[in-house]
Structure 1
Amino acid sequence: MSKGKVLVVDDHKRVLTALQILLQDEFEEVQTLANPNSLLFTLETNQFDIILLDMNFSAGVNTGNEGFFWLNKILEKYPDMVVVLLTAYGDIELAVKAMKVGASDFILKPWDNNKLINTLRTALQLRRSKQRIVQLEIEKEELAREINQPVTRMIGRSKLMLEMHRIIEKVACTDANVLIFGEHGTGKELIARELHLKSKRCKAVFITVDMGAITESLFESELFGHEKGAFTDARESRIGRFEIASGGTLFLDEIGNLSMPMQAKLLSALQTRKIIRLGDNQVRDIDIRLICASNKNLIQMVLNGEFREDLLYRINTIQIDVPELRNRNGDVAVLAEYYLRKYAVKYNKQNLRFAKNTIEKLMKYSWPGNVRELQHTIEKAVILTDNSELLAEEFLFKERQINEMKNEAVSFEEMEKQLIRSAMDRHKGNMSQISKELGVTRPTLYHKIKKYDL
């Protein structure tokens, strides 16, 4: 039995009955429709691979205009639909004209059963080819997006980073599932990309899914895809991330944010390596290399009953722990110099450098936001500075400010006053630079200075 779904549209009940009986053993599903006026509604609420369409519906009318009308309506809304026409012998010229418009083939009445079945089998192959072309276009877009992304390397010379790179080199050439642990901003996605680029799948797609951003209601649609009409607003079929990533690498970021029901659905797909789109019955094989990442302690979550133990074992063939920046001795200086060069070029300040005591100050900070925080801090400093050197006092850290508020129990107004005074000292009263750093307008800044008698 072919897995395709066929819709037969003809106003003769005997024709519909005969085709229903003939095709039901050949195709997964066969539906019939006697009135073409409900055709578009039927297509909105059901998914078909082939439409077998009669060319004439009104008694005594053999112009084929009705067939042309509905053919155009179908292809206007569903340009990839495969339509096979049912036509009388005398209408062959019309049928050929219809094929130029977009019909895939035609069948003469009265038909030969074997020829009709073979024609529909060929039409189903055409349908599958069109669907594959759509999928290849999506994969092409994903590859182009990957190619156009700026290449960012994992930078670091510390012992912990060298050990992590050693593990990456060993694991990358395999298809083993990898689980990456690390705090926010440590570069978990960079590691996943490096694993992909050094794997046998490097020429295929690398698909990223932020699991923390997917709601439970959209989980299946996003990962497994859906057919048109599967739910409200599903106006067209959509390929899921699993299918797009097939042949390549699927990176599931922040997997610890999944609810238990979502975990169960994910586990089933990973165990069987098969998925079913929402609103469809067709089982689709998937071939992915799976990489997951989390900033949460999944083992503790298992003990708390918040994460499935069998799912953890499934995704955790190899575990890579990304070290926090505060534990990467010497890497702060290396990264700071790298980002300074990068943003000095970007903002046309090529001669900019660090003052002697600035790196020392950066290395003493604990960097709770890790590499991402360091990167944004350097970029902000490069943008705002008017000096040829980045001075130590140009770097204010939120962590220090918060600790000062806790330890000294200062009021919010006192803290705000201190921040404005510090900015005024750094920028020597330059109101434009002060307002930029503090993120307030100049009128607001003048009001604050007057309020605090600065």
Structure 2
Amino acid sequence: MIDAKILVIDDTKSVLSALEILLQFEYKSVKTISNPNQIASFPNFSELDIILLDMNFSAGVNTGNEGLYWLREIKKKASHISVIMMTAYGAVDLAVKALKEGASDFVLKPWNNERLLATVKSAYELRQTQKEVKQLKQKESNLKQVINQNKNYIIGNSKALNQVLNLVQKVAKTDVNVLITGENGTGKELIARELHKLSARNNEVFISVDMGSISENLFESELFGHVKGSFTDAKEDRAGKFEAASGGTLFLDEIGNLSLQMQAKLLSVIQNRVVVRVGSNKPIPVDIRLVCATNCNLDQMVADGLFREDLLYRINTIRVEVPPLRDRENDILVLADFYLNKFTHKYGKAGLKINQLAQEKLMGYAWPGNIRELLHTIERAVILSEGNVLKPTDFLLAPKNSVSIENGPNTLEEMEILMINKALDQHDGNYSAAAEQLGISRQTLYNKLKKKSPNL
């Protein structure tokens, strides 16, 4: 027996009795009423799944207008209910009109029992499908909310930061491509998330892709998707990041680390807003807001032949330069206080304060690692603290470029990082050029830095 609630509305008692007998063997709950005016007081009306509604209730009237009126009233009261119209006067135009008003089907009297049962079952299945779609949409909405939750905040009130946020606010309402530039650790992804949060797409998903961590072999599969059997490990169809972000925002971080070959493939998709999964010929349109970020000097890379000029034009409709922490002096102590509260709570060291001399030390430091370096510095100080006050000696800060190969690193790992940083400095943050100088692949270089700083 099907667990569904059915209501039959007809002014003929013999019709009500016949339908109740026919349907009660198939459905768990079958109720009848002879007057549609009883709809308003019918108990738990919104819980009904199906209504069989007569088209005519007044003697001598066969226009069907009464039924259409009550159909509209039912849809106003509970639009999800599947309504099957019944009439002894068959007319194609009347049936079409009923369907346009929201009826799910049309039954002629006298009916064929098997055909009527099939019609009711179809209406029930339609109702179940609608329920499933509604549940899926709710789950999708909840999932998007979880994905879009951002527990990091843009902290500060310096002039340099406010200029950036003002630009972000102006640009966010549009769908233009945005390029975010700035040193490592300045919070480029936070700016990208702020763009998404202030945009008309804020109820859709924000997908972040670390381009520097994607190997060339998996580039197309990761970004554009693949079909089952297209390569050895393709055991099922899979949507790429472009498809996953459709309707929302796609953030491509470290875009300056792509090879020229990958740049060409990316350019085609950005231009056409269409992806083709690996192993397929079917074009799939995508609707995304594209935001890219890099710490590289893309203009210099274009001049050096390392970055496509046409790709730069595509991603660079608006450029947002995130200022380094050293240019946000007013924000250093604000950020330090924010992270101090965060880590004292995390490590159970409530009441810990930074004294005046320590604050001056933090303010006087250049912060080459920017906000990320400040975060780790505060966390380390909180973990190692022994009293209630953090003093200058609790913050281990080294002047920029004070470490040398001769007296600085004590381990092979430190030596590697020192050489990598030196090579990156020489090539203005260009990973490919630095990797070539060091005699390693760009991916190896990136992995070594990632290992050293997991939040890179």
CA displacement, residues 301-321 of structure 1 (integer Å, 9 cap, x when unaligned): 000011010100000000000
CA distance in 2, matches of 1:205, 1:136: 13
Q: How does 1:208-223 map to 2 (within 5 A)?
A: 208-223=208-223
Q: Name the counterpart of 1:321.
A: 321
**Residue in structure 1 matched with residue 338 of structure 2 by the alignment:** 338
Q: How many pairs align?
A: 278
Equivalent position SS for 2:356: coil
Cα separation, partners in 2 of 1:271 and 1:139, compared to 1, 3 Å: farther
Alignment check: 8 A CA contact 1:222 1:241 kept: yes
Q: Name the amino acid aligned to 2:339.
A: Y
Equivalent residues in 2 for 1:5-404 (5 A)? 143=144, 145-147=146-148, 149-399=149-399, 403=402
Q: Are the structure 2 counterparts of residues 308 and 138 from structure 1 closer, same or farther at C-alpha, using a change threshold of 3 Å? A: farther
Helix, strand or coil: the match of 2:335? helix
Q: Is the 8 A contact 2:377 2:396 kept in 1?
A: no
Conserved 8 A contact 1:181-1:319: yes
CA–CA distance in structure 1, aligned partners of residues 267 and 150 of structure 2: 33
Assess, with a 3 A threshold, how the Cα gap between structure 1 residues 139 and 313 changes in structure 2: closer, same or farther: farther
Q: Distance between the aligned counterparts of 2:341 and 2:397, measured in 1?
A: 21
Q: CA deviation at 1:328?
A: 1.1
Q: CA deviation at 1:248?
A: 0.3
Shift of 1:396: 1.2
| CA deviation after TM superposition for structure 1 residue 392, in Å | 0.6
TM-score (norm 1): 0.58
For 1:143, give the aligned amino acid: K
Distance change (3 Å), C-alpha of 1:137 and 1:213: farther
- Could you give the per-residue CA deviations for residues 113-136 of structure 1, whole angstroms, max 9, x where no partner exists? xxxxxxxxxxxxxxxx9xx99x98
Q: Does the Cα contact within 8 Å between 2:181 and 2:188 map onto a contact in 1? A: yes
**Partner SS for 2:209:** strand
**Alpha-carbon distance in structure 2 between the residues aligned to 1:206 and 1:333:** 30
Q: Calculate the aligned-residue CA RMSD, in Å.
A: 2.4
Between the aligned partners of 1:264 and 1:303, the Cα distance in structure 2 is 17
Distance 1:399 1:357 in 2: 17
Kindly provide the amino acid, as one letter, of the partner of residue 315 in structure 1. I
**CA separation of 1:136/1:260 partners in 2, compared to 1, >3 Å: closer, same or farther?**
farther
C-alpha distance in 2, partners of 1:276/1:136? 26
Q: Secondary structure at the match of 2:344?
A: helix
1:348 deviates by 1.7
Displacement after TM superposition at 1:141 (Å): 8.4
| Counterpart Cα distance in 2 of 1:145 and 1:321 | 29
- TM (norm. structure 2) is 0.58
Distance 1:410 1:270, change over 3 A: closer
Could you tell me whether the CA contact under 8 Å between 1:152 and 1:190 is conserved in 2?
yes
Moved more, 307-316 or 333-342: 333-342
Secondary structure of 2:350 counterpart: coil
Distance (Å, rounded) in 2 between the aligned partners of 1:372 and 1:299? 26
Separation in structure 1 between the aligned mates of residue 245 and residue 142 of structure 2, nearest angstrom: 12
Superimposed CA distance per residue, residues 377-424 of structure 1 (whole angstroms, 9 cap, x where no aligned partner): 101111110110011111112446x61657xx65878xxxxxxxxxxx
Read off the aligned partner of 1:157 and give its amino acid letter.
Answer: N
Q: Contact conserved, 1:142 with 1:207, CA < 8 A, in 2?
A: no
Amino acid at match of 1:225: G
**C-alpha separation in 2, matches of 1:220 and 1:411:** 42
Change (3 A) 1:279 1:411: closer
Report if the CA contact (8 A) 2:181-2:322 is conserved: yes
Counterpart of 2:39 in structure 1 is none
Q: 1:206·1:249 contact (CA, 8 Å) conserved in 2?
A: yes
Q: Distance in 2 between matches of 1:410 and 1:231?
A: 50
Distance 1:167 1:411 in 2: 41
Q: Report % sequence identity.
A: 54
- Match of 2:154, SS state, is coil
The one-letter amino acid of 1:348's match is G
Kindly tell me: are residues 214 and 411 of structure 1, through their superposed partners in 2, closer, same or farther at Cα, counting changes over 3 Å? closer
SS class of match (1:266): helix
1:145 Cα offset (Å)? 4.4
Q: Shift of residue 326 of structure 1?
A: 0.9
Amino acid at match of 1:339: Y
- Tell me how far 1:282 sits from its aligned partner: 1.0
The equivalences for 1:418-433 within 5 A come to none
Task: Find the residue that maps to 1:204 and give its secondary structure.
Answer: coil
CA drift of 1:329 comes to 2.2
Contact kept? 2:145, 2:203, Cα under 8 Å:
no
**Are the structure 2 counterparts of residues 172 and 412 from structure 1 closer, same or farther at C-alpha, using a change threshold of 3 Å?**
closer
Runs of 5+ unmatched residues, structure 2 = 1-129, 411-456
